[in-house]
Amino acid sequence: MDAKEQQLMAEALDRMWAKFLPQLTERVDVLETAATALSAGRLTLEQRSAAHAAAHKLAGVLGTFSLTKGTVLAREAEILYSAEPENDAAAPVRLTDIARQLRVLIEQYK
């Protein structure tokens, strides 16, 4: 790929990032809300399901932008939310940390 093609690819990725950013932010919001509810012992099945779906979607989209760390974190959240995190004493702290790390990663991209 020559310099012109690389430039065009970078511009296309920038446009895609701008398009997906609101959705990414919203999905992290879902993860933060679920982690907060879990920490308070009030995680509903609906919140857990939404967090699982948000984590799954984040894992895929972040991989598109070569944000491997984000994909790994989102996959971990997806697994934790699929395994009844309310029965895991360490899950609230870990899921809160994952959401925080994902927020920072997305805000610092580019």
Range of the domain at 62: 3-108
CA dihedral 80, 55, 32, 82 (to 10 degrees): -30
Q: What is the CATH number of the domain that holds 7?
A: 1.20.120
Q: How many domains does the chain have?
A: 1
Residue 37 confidence class, pLDDT cut points 50, 70, 90? very high
Q: Is 84 left (phi over 0), alpha (psi -120 to 50) or beta?
A: left
pLDDT number for residue 80: 97
Residue 46 confidence class, pLDDT cut points 50, 70, 90? very high
Residue 110 has pLDDT above 70, yes or no: no
Specify the pTM.
0.92
CA dihedral 58, 59, 60, 64 (to 10 degrees): 90
The answer to whether 32 touches 103, Cβ cutoff 8 Å, is yes
Size of the chain in residues:
110
